[in-house]
Structure 1
Amino acid sequence: MIRPAGLGTRLRLLTAALDDAVERVYREAGHDFRPRFFPYFQLLMERTSASVGECAADLGFTQPAATQTLQLMARSGWIEVVPGEDRREHRYALSAAARGRLSELHSIWDAIARAAEALDAALPAPLAATIDAALESLDRESFHALIMRELTP
């Protein structure tokens, strides 16, 4: 008998299905834009610029993950390094090319949001609300603590 996939595996499959579809939409629209860029892009639209540390802290990612994504975004031309108050500080801002494509991207993001709402409507419980509730629960008690409680006789 084949056991059903674990929770982590099912979440990775779901993320892959969503990200692959979104990346295909960007590609078909002529944009070298990846789903992982979206939260950084949103943050940089709200600010003049941000450092790696600010991005990591505000978005909840590790500093190495933020560095990797920001470097990839810079190589793709979406962001650029801008001077900070301290010469040693690398700050990032949206590039002129990125700002010029905002209306196209907003159209895609609006379509993605509507598609997410349609997916939610097709499910027994809204996916976004379920994910938010799961994250809030894990903030109160880590999955590690839950597992350890189950292991304790």
Structure 2
Amino acid sequence: MNLFEKTGKMALGSRLRLLTAKVTEDASKIYDLYQVKFSPKWFPVFFILAEDGEKTITQIAEDIGHSQPSVTKIVKEMTTAGLVKNQLTSKDKRRNVVGLTEKGATVAEEMIKGQCADIDVAIDGIMAEAKHNLWEAIAEWEFLLDQKSMFKRVQDQKKLRESKDVQIVDYEPKYQSAFKSLNEEWISTYFEMEEADYKALDHPKEYILDKGGKIWVALYQNEPVGVCALIKMDDPNFDFEMAKMAVSPNVQGKSIGWLLGQAVVEHAKKAGASKIYLESNTILKPAINLYYKLGFQKIAGHATPYKRCNIQMELDLNQQ
């Protein structure tokens, strides 16, 4: 059985590398067929210089999508082969550029007349035999991966899969130590614990629950790894404050903050709330991004008991 029938799509990179190796091996033979002493890896640089004329190393690197060190190495090899001249002075005498030698220009002309024309016809023949147009497919994949990389796509799938193992449950007294320790951990990492923190974390029942608020706990493998509270506010502008959200750094990347935030918003909607308020600090970029993703928008001017607060946000549930 073919290896890739066993591995499936997860070996896409390996399969492409083998295909690339096969095509590159044939490319070397094709150059020999036309009696051209040429390395296949030189072709992008050679083509750009043949088409556009003299260019700087930086310009070539940008045009072909290679790094400058990679282009510099290729240019040195091509210089040794007598195909290009390096360190030429540009027409405006302001830059050093790379250009084809007479030999290089002759090789380019001969390649276009014979080798390139034959290769185009041969590839057209493969496309006519194939059910799928590989050339168009490659262009489409390049576009899609530019929009969202393979790494990001796999990362998102990992989050989605692992988030299914997360349970969001209502607070119980047995979770009081986790509620406090998870919040103390992140607050102490970036700031200092304040009086308002101790009030809520030491007495969640009296300060939050008994006043009409609610607390959620995120469980991963039956262990409390995240918490968030919705505090009832005595304010004509806001119904609740979303506060005390904390997720253990050991389980970040599993969308736990997002799941907690959704639980908060859904409860507030069911409770008939119009607006949710929150306070944070812009140094906490992942948290701020999460709040925007949940629909919160920046506001200003509300009184705060926290020294660390430098951003205030609200979620208008009437616009959800």
Instruction: Select the residue among 103, 111, 120 that pairs with 1:105.
Output: 111
1:50–1:92 Cα contact (<8 Å) kept: yes
For the residue of structure 2 that corresponds to 1:149, the secondary structure is: helix
2:50–2:108 Cα contact (<8 Å) kept: no
Give the distance between the partners of 1:78 and 1:17, measured in 2 at CA.
Answer: 26
1:26–1:33 Cα contact (<8 Å) kept: yes
For the residue of structure 2 that corresponds to 1:93, the secondary structure is: strand
Instruction: Select the residue among 137, 146, 151 that pairs with 1:144.
Output: 151
Higher strand share: 2
Question: Residue type of the partner of 1:7?
Answer: L
For the residue of structure 2 that corresponds to 1:91, the secondary structure is: strand
Q: Which residue of 1 aligns with 2:126?
A: 119
Give the distance between the partners of 1:36 and 1:114, measured in 2 at CA.
Answer: 22
Asked which structure has the greater RCO (Cα within 8 Å, sep 6+), the reply is 1
Q: Which moved more, 1:31-40 or 1:49-58?
A: 31-40
Give the distance between the partners of 1:7 and 1:23, measured in 2 at CA.
Answer: 24
For the residue of structure 2 that corresponds to 1:31, the secondary structure is: coil
Work out which of the two has the higher radius of gyration on C-alpha atoms and give 1 or 2: 2
* Unmatched tracts of structure 1, length 5 or more: none
Q: Which residue of 2 aligns with 1:54?
A: 59
Alignment of 1:91 with 2:97, yes or no, is: yes
Map Cα deviations across residues 29-74 of structure 1 (whole Å, 9 max, x no partner): 2211122222212211223311111000111111111111111111
- C-alpha displacement of 1:4: 3.1
Count matched residues: 151
Instruction: Select the residue among 126, 136, 141 that pairs with 1:129.
Output: 136
- C-alpha displacement of 1:28: 2.5
Instruction: Select the residue among 11, 16, 21 that pairs with 2:16.
Output: 11
Give the distance between the partners of 1:50 and 1:148, measured in 2 at CA.
Answer: 39
Q: Which moved more, 1:143-152 or 1:119-128?
A: 119-128
1:22–1:112 Cα contact (<8 Å) kept: no
1:37–1:73 Cα contact (<8 Å) kept: yes
Alignment of 1:43 with 2:52, yes or no, is: no
For the residue of structure 1 that corresponds to 2:47, the secondary structure is: helix
| TM-score after normalising by structure 2 | 0.45
Give the distance between the partners of 1:116 and 1:10, measured in 2 at CA.
Answer: 20
For the residue of structure 1 that corresponds to 2:77, the secondary structure is: helix
Give the distance between the partners of 2:102 and 2:60, measured in 1 at CA.
Answer: 20
Structure 1 residues 15-30: aligned runs within 5 Å:
15-30=20-35
1:49–1:92 Cα contact (<8 Å) kept: yes
Give the distance between the partners of 2:107 and 2:69, measured in 1 at CA.
Answer: 28
- C-alpha displacement of 1:122: 2.2
Give the distance between the partners of 2:129 and 2:39, measured in 1 at CA.
Answer: 26
CA RMSD in angstroms, aligned pairs only: 1.8
- C-alpha displacement of 1:77: 1.2
Q: Which residue of 1 aligns with 2:200?
A: none
Instruction: Select the residue among 18, 31, 36 that pairs with 1:31.
Output: 36
Percent of aligned pairs sharing the same letter? 24
For the residue of structure 1 that corresponds to 2:7, the secondary structure is: coil
1:83–1:90 Cα contact (<8 Å) kept: yes
* Unmatched tracts of structure 2, length 5 or more: 162-320
Q: Which moved more, 1:33-42 or 1:126-135?
A: 33-42
